[in-house]
Amino acid sequence: MERLLREKMVTLGASLFARGYSSGSGGNISARLPDGSILATPTNASLGRLAPERLSLVAADGTLISGDPPSKECAFHLKIYQARPGCGAVVHLHSTYATGLSCLRDLDPENVIRPFTPYYVMKVAPLPLVPYYRPGSPELVAAVASRARQAGCFLLANHGPVVTGKTLEDAVNTAEELEETAKLVFLLQRNPAGVRYLEEEQIRELIPGG
């Protein structure tokens, strides 16, 4: 299983990079193994040029087991896994539109995007905002841990999106849905009065048990 997961992480990382969801060495992804350890992208690694044997294998307590040293943001990945027992993967990107959205003023900290498509509701929402802290800082790690107990997706202010999933494919698919939704937010700003937002009853119909 570990070998297949390593190959999958390389393939999906390259796909995200090729389509502009990350650039340079920005962003990082991880996936949890059955024993609780995680595979993560190494520090300063490009998602477009990962090597299976160089991925960081990290114990649940943060100890490096094998591979290259992990990204400094691996610390908040570990906190997310602790906060969300059902989480199997974490994707953190610096994708253009979601990152641009995270830089705007006066965002609703409990749900940054007011629902206007069913797939945003089903795949992403709610989308809380984590206040800005220096990347890799203990303050950011603590803030992410707090938000991860409440939501599976959130934005880091002035930084970018963090998305979780039961599997690596789930997390990547949701990250892509979020980026496309953020793109629509900017396109619709050209005519904000004309946006048809979903009504509360329509939203409830999309939420299991809603």
Our answer to whether residue 176 is catalytic in this structure is no
Beta strands in the chain (DSSP E): 28-32, 38-40, 56-58, 64-66, 89-92, 129-130, 153-156, 160-165
Instruction: Examine the residue annotation and report whether 177 is marked as an active-site residue of this protein.
Output: no
In 71-115, alpha helices (H): 74-83, 96-102
Neighbouring residues of 46: CB distance < 8 A, sequence distance ≥ 6? 17, 22, 24, 25
- Give which of 181, 176, 150, 193 is closest to 12, Cα–Cα: 176
Q: Which of 21, 97, 119, 179 is catalytic?
A: 119
CA distance 88 to 168: 7
Catalytic one of 21, 73, 133, 176? 73
- 3-class DSSP state for residue 105? coil
| Residue 25 DSSP symbol | T
Q: Could you give the residue numbers annotated as active site?
A: 73, 119
